[in-house]
Structures are given as C-alpha cells and as structure tokens.
Structure 1
C-alpha cells in the first residue's frame, strides 16, 4: 500500500501539534499525528487503495481520495474501525443533492449533521442515550470531527476563506449522533429511508444548531408534537421561511408517551407536516416586515412533504426534552442516506 502524501519529521508530539496549528491544519484542538502506519491501518480496514477516488467536489474540481480522508480521520482520533463511517459520510456529502460547496461556504453557518444506524453502532460503542448531541461517546465524537478536519484540509474550508459563516455553531467541531434503536419500537432512520434493517448506514444533513424544547406536562402525542412544531415555526420566523429536511431528536421520556399511544414515525411526520407552517405576514412580527409586501397571506410549510422529516430516537432516559435540528437553507441541500460498506461507485439508494 503506497502512501503518497508528503511526510514531516518532528521532534516529538508537541512539535507535531505546533506544526499542524501553525499551518492551519487543525480545528483549533490538538490532533493525533497521522503516521504512515495509522493511515495504512484505516485503509486496510476498508480494503481500499490510497488512491481510490471517492468523488470530486463539483464547484472547484477538488478530488477526494481515500488516503486524504484517512489522514484526517487519524488526526481526529479515529481508530480503523471508525473509518468506514467517515468514508461513507463523506461519500454521501459528495452527492449532488447535498450541495457540498454551498453548505460549507454559506454565511448561514451550517455544519454537517451525521446520524449512525444499524449494527455498526454497537460494534463502535456509539451511544444514543445520555448527552446524545454532546460528548456522549468516543465514536460519534471522532467521526464527526473527522468530517470537519477533512473539510478544512482537503477542501480548504477554513473560517474567512471558503467558510464564510457569520456566526457558525459548535456542531462544526463534531455533529454526530447514534440512533437508540434498541430502546425504541420505531423503525430506525435508515429503514424509514429505504434501506434494509440489517445494514449499517450513515445519514448526512447540512444543518443549523439544535434548538432544544421541553414539555413535561402532558402525555398526549398532539401536545408533545405541538411543542416541536412550534419550535420549527419559530425557526421559519427567525431564520429561514423555506422548507426542507428537519430532524427531530426525541429522547426516551417523550418517546415513551408517543409509542404508548401507538404513534409511529410516519404518524409523527404527518402531524408535523400539518402543524409546522406559517404565513409570510408573520415575519412582520419579528422585524422582517419589509420583505412581506403583498404576500402576507402566503403559506409556507417547514416540510414540503411528510417524508422530509427525519425522526431520530436518541437522548437520555429522563426529562421531557427534545431537539429540533433545522436545515441549512430549505431545499438547497437534501439529506442523504448511504449504507456503510457499499460500493462507492454504485448507484445510491432511492432516498
């Protein structure tokens, strides 16, 4: 296995850190030095040659090879067993419908949100319970960080350069969650999106920061979901009126109420589709009246169709909390789900 990337000799670990920081090759945090052996181990795990082309960033024509991605995965702290998720996630981001250049160069400040599904979660120890959107476990932390480092070092997505984010959000360090499939009666996300339940999969979405909600005062599904829908309406008023993929993170306490009433993910999506919508005239209430004009009665939906909602079972066992993860900018970028370990040159699944 022939690694072609340039190598550097450094005196020790601390010298390696300074080399990477001084060259802008990090996200501001310390990195794991990507030694030749460590990079080769990642590539051998997925049985992929270093020069395997995963795809080409379409706007600037930058090729993405397995070797370059493995280097950044090692830097992020990935073990070889984490690399299939990183490789699949980046392959999904290269699909035209994800609109990688727009999502990474926009002033809107989105990050790449990643959902892990299937048996590989257990193999990696990826937790979907306590602190699910935070530092819940090693796997989700390093997989999400690997994607960010790859954007920085392969596509030059640095703040003030390609990355024009006005504010950004902490998901730009790492934004990865594993669905809690074992403690849920719902279909896992990847099954909802057309893949067999026995495969492992990654879903990527260009996403804003999570918006946390709470409703501890009811067991009625309609009341619980109205709180989620209200937060989606708030996002349409305060950020973008355009509909697209939204994600609901539903932890166990609220999930139990919904499941006890026999509400499926499909039922949830149908209800949210009807409730998460606003009229353009509402923008006048939040300081945006100048763009309402004569279209105040026009109705906009957060979800073009119920299928555009991603429902993820994740979060700790107690507390009536949940989260809404909004899209970067409506339908300009679409969530993509790919199976892990599939041929990277094969046609993607239907959704």
Structure 2
C-alpha cells in the first residue's frame, strides 16, 4: 500500500538487516519531529519505535525503486527531492534537517539489499506492479486450470510440453537482448504474420530457452526469413527437411552449447531449445502446422529441433562461418535446409585419399545415388576423421575440392533408366561428366566426440536443385 505523503520522510527497512536494527531508535527520533511513513519489508512489528506499514508484498518498495535498506526518502509537495541508503549520520541529518541523530552510533555503516531486489523477485514485481506494454494477446486461465495442458489445448505445442509464457518469464527473456520488444523482425511464413522481438521471447520461453540464448534465436529467425532460405517452401514441402542450425563463435561456449560428444543428440539445453524456439515460431506465429500447410509425407525429428555448435578448438580448422564470409572470432549462425542423419562409418581408412573415396561413396547416396545437382549436403566431420586429413596437411579447401572431384561421374551412369533404375538426371546429359553437388553445395562442419570414426551426413532439401533460388544462409549474430 502506497501512502501519499506530501511533505516528510519515507523510510524503508527490514528486521533482518542489522543496520536497520541499529538505527531503530533513530527512526523513532525522526518520526517524533517530522511526518514520517515507515515501510517494513518483512515484519510489521518492526521497528518498534513507530507504527510501520506492512510492505511484505514489496509493492511500495518496488514503486520507489528501493535497492537497499534502510533507505530514507525526502518528500516535498508529493515528490521525491532526495534520498540516501545505509546509515550515514551526516547524510541522514542533512536529508531530515535534524541534528544529533544516532548519538553513540558509528558515523556510517552500509545497509543490506532490499528484498525487492533479491534474485528473481524484481522480475515478479515488474510483472505484478510495473507498467507492462506487452502487445501479445493474454490468455486468462481459471484458478484450477493446468497451464501446460492449456497450451496443448490451444495448439501451441509441437507435441511436447511447453513452458507457459507468463509475464515474468517473458520479461526475463527480453533481458537477453538489447533490441526493443516492439521491433518487427519480419513476416513469418506460411501466413506471413509479422513477428516482433516480444513474440520471439514468448516462443523462446515456451521452448525452454534461457535469456542469454535470445541473440542466437533472433539471428536464426532472421536467417530463416531471408528469401534465399525459402522457409515457406521448406515448410510446405512433402520431403523430410527442416532448418538445421549451426552456431559458430565464442557465444557457443558462453551459453554452453554442445559441439562435442552427442552434439547432434539430446541432453544439451541450448542446442535443444534454440532449434525448438525457431520451430515453435514457425508453428505459432506463421501457422505452419502439420497436416495443414506442413505437408511432409514422413517429416523427421529435426522438425522438433536440430541445432548444434561447431567445434572450433582445433586451430588448423577453418570454421564454417569463416568459410562463408564471416570475420574470424565473430558469432554467427548458419541455417541449412536438411534432413536427418545418415551415418558414415569408416574405421579402416588411414590416408586422406582412402577416406575421401569412402566419404564420396556415402555422399553419392544423398537423395538418390543417381540424383545430381539436386540437393545440397552437410557433412559433419568428427575429430578422428579430420585428424587423418590434418596429418596429411589437408585443410577445409583441399578436403572439399577432393570430395567434389571424387564424386564426378559419367552422365550415362546416372541418367534416368540407367542400370534399370527410373530415377536419375536428364538423359540429354549422357555424354557429360556430372557433379553430385553444386560447387557451393557441400558444407562441412567439424564436431563430435574424440573417440569414434563415425561422421554424419545430412542430406539437403530437394529445393536445392534451384541453385540460385534456395541456399543455406549465414548471418552474424547481433545482441
């Protein structure tokens, strides 16, 4: 409860503060001579020298933005004109105009943190008593309604439970970015609905993100909305594909992303929830729901989430973001339109030439053995496989070049009908030497655990055959 004091003193205190206990009689001295209102944060009977107002709700402490106790505020004509906190005889005497306060006490002593500033409390108070300017439509639930079930009932879920997006959680999520809540990021397909930073925060909450993930989520969304990424087509496709997010730069370590053991699997909050946030945005804001505009015949696990960080611990390896034009040391995301994991196992090849031929055999199976320049591919090269290349002096450029060369085949072997198989390239290419991928269509990422010669291939979306219309997108992360 806030009392409208026109002229006088406001004091905020709590019993558990030793400094407040020390100045208990001083508060009484002031109240005897000046109109004084005391708010107590934890015990209505404290201080015993005055009749205090119970502020255990912390509404008044929040309204006056109290950071520490005791805090003494001078009011004049209903407005604050001065304040001090902690105990300082000189400051208290100057503020009150009274002399001889606290005789026998030390000249000064620091106070304690206000209960309104305890971890987690301030955000709750902001949501309860602050002037929120959220634009998102609020849903009011009944006292006995289950929040998680309500999210299911309203179709906000990808099939797994989501975190209910309360005001407090949204406020905390927005603290992860310097961008304004009402800033419009773009139009989300398929409905081309405008999305603000606030709406991103709502879905990031539901996905289970932490606030520090917000810059990555926002940049991943911006990349997905780049026309070159063709998110609308990727969503409406009948194929398996979905966005695969690769994160580069110091931010991956700072937010605890996994680039090592099981990095394409479960168990890491950042990996799991960043990718999920993007998928929920497409669903909840853009309207991309399975069975409606999402027409995937089978779909794939990546439609829940597919996000990981590249392992940049080996200085001999050029990160994917750098290879795609981002300055070294900068944070970036790359979005690749891809499918699930095609395992690659080769535990016997020990030279780069052997391993290149072996990898090429598996890469040729992407989409179909006879489909060429039809999809892109993402190769996740594990450290032990990369070590074979590194020890022979092969860098990213050499590995990529040699793989492309190893996958060139005579057109007569891959045309439609060849070898009794209907699928294949245009028969008019029978006399050509045909590449499996476009020159820029093979992306290589280094990641994974240190023990095991098991790399992975993620086939690209079939829209990749439209070389200049649909491409992976890389963007630098901004806060």
Pair in the same fold by TM > 0.5: yes
> Within the alignment, does 1:338 sit opposite 2:471 as a pair?
no
Structure 2 partner of 1:349: none
CA deviation vs aligned residue, 1:68-107 (integer Å, no higher than 9, x gap): 1111111010010011111000101111111110011100
> Within the alignment, does 1:288 sit opposite 2:422 as a pair?
yes
Contact 1:237/1:286 (<8 A) preserved = no
> Within the alignment, does 1:104 sit opposite 2:226 as a pair?
no
User: 11-20 or 284-293: which moved more?
Assistant: 284-293
How far did residue 235 of structure 1 move? Answer: 1.6
Structure-1-length-normalised TM-score: 0.90
CA distance in 1, matches of 2:400, 2:408: 13
Aligned residue pairs: how many? 341
User: 4-13 or 136-145: which moved more?
Assistant: 4-13
Return the match for 1:310 from 443, 456, 479.
443
CA distance in 1, matches of 2:441, 2:152: 40
SS of 2:336's partner is: strand
CA distance in 1, matches of 2:144, 2:255: 27
CA deviation vs aligned residue, 1:287-314 (integer Å, no higher than 9, x gap): 4259865554455423221x43221110
CA distance in 1, matches of 2:369, 2:236: 21
CA distance in 2, matches of 1:13, 1:193: 52
Structure 2 partner of 1:39: 170
Where does 1:195-344 land on structure 2 (aligned, <5 Å)? Answer: 195-237=326-368, 240-278=371-409, 279=411, 280-281=414-415, 284-285=418-419, 287-288=421-422, 293=427, 295-305=429-439, 307-329=440-462, 330=464, 331=467, 332-341=469-478
SS of 2:272's partner is: helix
> Within the alignment, does 1:141 sit opposite 2:265 as a pair?
no
Structure-2-length-normalised TM-score: 0.67
CA distance in 2, matches of 1:64, 1:268: 40
Unaligned runs of 5+ in 2: 1-131
CA deviation vs aligned residue, 1:7-28 (integer Å, no higher than 9, x gap): 2233589711211112221110
SS of 1:247's partner is: strand
Contact 1:113/1:206 (<8 A) preserved = yes
> Within the alignment, does 1:113 sit opposite 2:238 as a pair?
no
Unaligned runs of 5+ in 1: 343-351
SS of 1:112's partner is: strand
CA deviation vs aligned residue, 1:135-180 (integer Å, no higher than 9, x gap): 1511111101111111110111111111100011111111011111
CA distance in 1, matches of 2:435, 2:425: 18
Return the match for 1:132 from 263, 267, 272.
263
Contact 2:239/2:299 (<8 A) preserved = yes
Q: Radius of gyration: which is bigger?
A: 2
> Within the alignment, does 1:165 sit opposite 2:262 as a pair?
no
Contact 1:105/1:164 (<8 A) preserved = yes
Contact 1:284/1:292 (<8 A) preserved = no
User: 158-167 or 15-24: which moved more?
Assistant: 15-24
Contact 2:263/2:447 (<8 A) preserved = yes
